Amino acid sequence: MPRDATLRLFATALALALAACSSSGGTNIKKESAASEKMEAARVHTELGQKYMQQGKLQIALQNLNKALSYDADYADAHTVIAVLYEQIGDLKQAEEHYRRAAQIKAKGGNELNNYGAFLCKIGRYDEANDYFQRALADPFYNTPAVALTNQGRCLLKGGKADTAETALRSALDRAPNNPDALFLMASVLYEKGDFFKARAFMQRFESVGQAGPESLMLGRNIELRLGNGGAASDYTRRLLQSFPESQQARALNEQNRS
């Protein structure tokens, strides 16, 4: 074959190869662009869903969150927010499904694993919950481990494991000394263990940073009664009955007074 014919064949083959590469690259770019647009649409509708939830417009929020998942069924944030919504309206089956799905998508994500653990604890599945808290704490990029440790402590306490609950809560307070939830739970743990003086100390720390509620006022009352301080116990009782007259704790005290 003459040399110029060989050169023409090579040039033609090169042009075809470049055209093929260009076509393939263009297709990939289009695919990536379409995927990116779907992810962005999912993000936007998830944010809209959150905003409508904050405004109490739950039906519109749900529509936006379902729309987000129609754009990207693997968008973990949408699963998390819709799980919170379902939990808020009492649909625990749907809530669990979406918490679990978020934890599957982000299998090493501290936030998603902690959220599912907290939900499992709420419905009484304490051992399963603890596994998810442990997995959340194994995430080296999880930026709020004190939250998971506090939730773990709460769950262990509910499951009757006061000693291990105390360990988790002390670890939480090492990371966040003014965490009101951890301080209240530490007071609860120490009360359960009969260490009333230390329980009072943690209750005082809680009251300096946290907001009093019926549970904390009742615990404060009970601690002071155990320490024989009737005046302080009466003060907690007064605050509880005045501030939260419809609470379960206030009703229990009223029933005691009537009996």
pLDDT tens digits, 9-21: 444 444 444 455 5
Q: Residue 33: what pLDDT? A: 73
pLDDT at 3 over 80: no
Distance, in Å, from the CA atom of 104 to the CA atom of 132, rounded to the nearest integer, reads 11
E strand intervals along the chain: none
pLDDT digits (tens, 9 = 90+) for 23-71: 555 666 666 677 788 889 999 999 999 999 999 999 999 999 999 999 9
- Pull the structure tokens for residue 39: 């992810």
pLDDT digits (tens, 9 = 90+) for 87-113: 999 999 999 999 999 999 999 999 999
The radius of gyration computed from the CA coordinates of the chain, to the nearest angstrom, equals 28
Q: Residue 246: what pLDDT? A: 95
Q: Residue 38: what pLDDT? A: 87
Q: Residue 23: what pLDDT? A: 53
Q: How confident is the model at residue 200 (pLDDT cuts 50, 70, 90)?
A: very high
Q: Residue 256: what pLDDT? A: 84
pLDDT digits (tens, 9 = 90+) for 140-186: 999 999 999 999 999 999 999 999 999 999 999 999 999 999 999 99
Q: Residue 14: what pLDDT? A: 43
* Whether the Cβ atoms of residue 120 and residue 128 lie closer than 8 Å to each other: yes
- What's CA 50's distance to the chain center, in Å? 15
Domains and CATH numbers, the chain: 45-105 (1.25.40.10), 212-259 (no CATH)
Hey, CA dihedral for 11, 12, 15, 20, is it positive or negative?
A: negative
- The full DSSP string for 135-153 is HHHT-TT-S-HHHHHHHHH
Nearest CA to 214 among 181, 192, 247, 190?
A: 247
Mean pLDDT, to the nearest integer, of 211-233?
97
